[in-house]
Amino acid sequence: MENTQTGDVKMPITYEDLKQSLVDSGRPYDFDMIDRAYALAEKAHGGQRRRSGEPYICHPLSVASILVELGMDSESIAAALMHDVAEDTPVTVAEIKQKFGPDVALLVDGVTKLTQIKFSNVEDRQAENLRKMLLAMSQDVRVMIIKLCDRLHNMRTGDAWPEQKRRDKALETMEVYAPIAHRLGISNIKEELEDRSLHYLDPVGYETIRDLLNKHGDEFLHTVCHTIAKHLAENGIQKATIRHRVKSIYGIYLQNKDFEEIYDIYAVRIILENVSECYNALGLIHDMYHPLPNRFKDYISTPKPNGYQSLHTTVIGREAIPFEVQIRTWDMDRMAEYGIAAHWKYKAGITNGSSDKLDERLAWVRQLLESQRSSADATDLLSDIKSDLLPEEVFAFTPRGDVINLPAGATAIDFAYAIHSAVGNRMIGAKVNNRIVPIDHKVQTGEIIEIITGPENRGPSRDWLNIVKTSEAKNKIRNWFKKERREENIQEGREALERELRRNLMSMTDEQHETFME
Ligand code: MN
């Protein structure tokens, strides 16, 4: 993968270029629909230009061409071409629906909605909620994939942005979009998003690493792979699949070590038929190259806690550049790529229970994406994943922009108690996107909800116990009544005692009263 930003001037992409890449892909694309989508977008964006001076249409064309590389379907390509018309031109989603049908319209609408969400600053605490909310808002996972390609192209051309905007976009990309690309298993987009963000956030750090990487270049890896394949074949391992990668600039940056101390900048992966071939290949590799001490790990006999299996070793050849070799079977490879204990969880250390279901679903999405990319017949499997990605959760904003995460079916009252019990206890009404709604309004993902509060001594209503959905709200309401009743009970008890005393024509001073109570 080529991540480095080169200084040479590229010709702006044309529709002919895009069509050529569609033809070259060998997939049965719906050229009629894509032609019509391009014509509409071209006309709608008309004389608009990007900040860089390019005609605006270059942007949707570029986004569409990234989607072709990902192996996405005709509807996604058409929607990508039109993804900015609803936001920036008089063309409406209704018009797109009428001309292209509900599916393409839903994609365009989804991307438009995601684009309208602006996070001014992404705090760590909020980042995971934001990611989940965006996924939930996507409805159809293709919306998120188009959005990721949109963001990627914007980051590629971000040099035209003012300094502050570059940093804001870079932070948002790093915190929100790159992790989503990671969870969807689109690792080359994830890595490019991170590298380009780093370039804006720490230009010096970025350029230092890039220069060191350029010194070696990856022709070196091509030679190594070729040599290994030949040697394995000569020794009876015919069906080896050999892949290689260069660690991303951001990946190296994160290690925070001297370049020479990072041994996995270059890596070769050998995928084989069975376990005995794996050990056999390991022997052959150690014959060819000099293994570095203490770098050999047998995760086949002792898998990692998440089930990951592979043989790892680091070797060094005549070029004096160390590289890591990973050897595994196809089963182990699939487990590593798509396993439910998916390596993102392992690496990111996500342990809370609620993300498990999401991860299972995302693992499924990743498998679909992979089969979409590798199979020639473009099926629309992906469109089947209308967002039951997060069917049991909704996400709404406070007016300050904090994201509140609630179970589906939760009401505005739950929302109020999720902010703070004091907000819930004083609640007298709610506004959604600036309109008054009933307090039992069911929260929908993406809504901005403002809770209207009354005086401090105002309490909740007992009826609310039948309305709220979360146990948090229920407990807080019950607690309020318990506390309230304690005072009521004391008052009632005192009155009852006084009545009894009066009935018996007795009276007590306060002092006597206290002795009596004891
Ligand atoms: Mn765009």
State pLDDT tens for residues 57-91: 999 999 999 999 888 889 999 999 999 999 989 99
- The DSSP result for 244-291, as a single string, is EEE--HHHHHHH-S-GGG-TTSEEEEEEESSHHHHHHHHHHHHHHSEE
Crossing angle for the helix pair 15-24 and 58-70, nearest 10 degrees? 10
pLDDT at 357: 64
Neighbours of 483 (CB within 10 A): 11
Give pLDDT, residue 348.
Answer: 42
Measured from the Cβ of residue 28, the count of other Cβ atoms closer than 10 Å reads 11
What is the structure's pLDDT at 302? 92
Residue 513 phi, psi dihedral angles, 5° rounding: -55, -45
Q: What is the mean pLDDT of residues 31-55?
A: 93
The catalytic residue among 69, 87, 319, 331 is: 87
Helices (H), 30-92: 31-45, 58-70, 74-81, 85-88
Most confident of 152-156, 217-221, 315-319, 480-484: 152-156
Q: Which residues contact 147 (CB under 8 A, 6 or more apart)?
A: 110, 111, 114, 115, 134, 138, 177
Residue range 252-260: average pLDDT? Answer: 84
Q: What is this structure's pTM?
A: 0.75
Q: 268 pairs with which residues across the strands?
A: 244, 325
* Cα 13 from Cα 257, distance rounded (Å): 39
In the numeric block, the tokens 């403002």 are attached to 450
CA 80 / ligand 1 centre spacing (Å): 8
Reading the block at residue 379, the tokens are: 């099926």
Strand partners, 259: none
Q: How far is the CA of 507 from the centre of ligand 1 (A)?
A: 83
From the number of C-beta atoms within 10 Å of its C-beta (0-12, 13-18, 19+), residue 346 rates as middle
Of 31-45, 149-163, 259-273, 366-380, least confident by mean pLDDT is 366-380
Token duo for residue 29: 């694309």
**Averaged over 422-449, what is the pLDDT?**
92
- Cβ–Cβ under 8 Å, residues 115 and 86: no
Q: How confident is the model at residue 9 (pLDDT cuts 50, 70, 90)?
A: low
pLDDT-derived band at 387 (thresholds 50, 70, 90) equals low
Measured CA to CA in angstroms, residue 366 lies from 149, 348, 376, 495 at distances of 16, 18, 17, 69
Pick from 306, 309, 228, 307: nearest CA to 266: 228
For residue 386, give every residue at least 6 positions away whose Cβ sits within 8 Å of its Cβ, in sequence order, or none: 139, 140
Q: Distance from the CA of 71 to the center of ligand 1, in angstroms?
A: 19
The pLDDT, as a whole number, for residue 3 is 41
- Model confidence at 215, in pLDDT bands (50, 70, 90)? confident
Please say if 16 is a catalytic residue.
Answer: no
Instruction: Report the range of poorest mean pLDDT among 278-287, 471-480, 509-518.
Output: 509-518
| CA 77/CA 374 separation, integer angstroms | 18
Tell me, what amino acid is at 239?
K
**Averaged pLDDT for residues 161-167:** 93
Question: For 330-359, what is each residue's pLDDT tens digit?
Answer: 988 877 766 543 333 333 444 444 455 666
Sign (positive/negative) of CA torsion 139, 140, 141, 145? Answer: negative
pLDDT of residue 399: 86
Ligand 1 centroid, distance to 157 Cα (angstroms): 11
**How far, in Å, are 56, 221, 318 from residue 84 at the CA level?**
10, 40, 52
CA–CA distance, 71 with 376 (Å, rounded to integer): 9
Residue 392 is predicted with a pLDDT of 81
Catalytic residue among 54, 88, 359, 440: 88
For residues 33 and 76, is the Cβ–Cβ distance under 8 A? no
Q: What is the pLDDT of residue 7?
A: 45
- Ligand 1 ion: Cβ-proximal residues, 5 Å cutoff: 84, 150
The Å distance, Cα 16 to ligand 1 centre, comes to 20
Taking a C-beta distance cutoff of 8 angstroms, is the pair 250, 191 a contact? Answer: yes
Q: Are 252 and 209 in contact (CB under 8 A)?
A: yes
Q: What is the distance between the alpha carbons of residues 16 and 4, in angstroms, rounded to a whole number?
A: 26
Average pLDDT rounded to a whole number, residues 233-261: 89
Query: What's the pLDDT score for residue 388?
Result: 57
CA of 145 to the centre of ligand 1 (A): 12
- The per-residue pLDDT for 1 is 37
Q: Longest Cα pair distance anywhere in the chain, in angstroms?
A: 114
87 is catalytic: yes
Q: How many helices (H) and strands (E) does the chain have?
A: 24, 11
- Closest C-alpha among 149, 72, 136 to residue 110: 136
Backbone angles phi, psi at 304, to 5 degrees: -65, 160
Distance CA 235, CA 279 (A): 13
Distance 362 CA to ligand 1 centre (A): 24
Residue 492 or 146, more confident: 146
Mean pLDDT value across the chain: 84
Is 251's pLDDT higher than 60? yes
* Ligand 1 centroid to residue 171 C-alpha, Å: 18
pLDDT at residue 5 in the model: 44
pLDDT of residue 373: 60
% of the chain beyond a pLDDT of 90: 50
Q: What is the pLDDT of residue 301?
A: 95
How close is the Cα of 142 to the center of ligand 1, in Å?
15
- 194-214 per-position pLDDT tens digit: 999 999 999 999 999 998 887
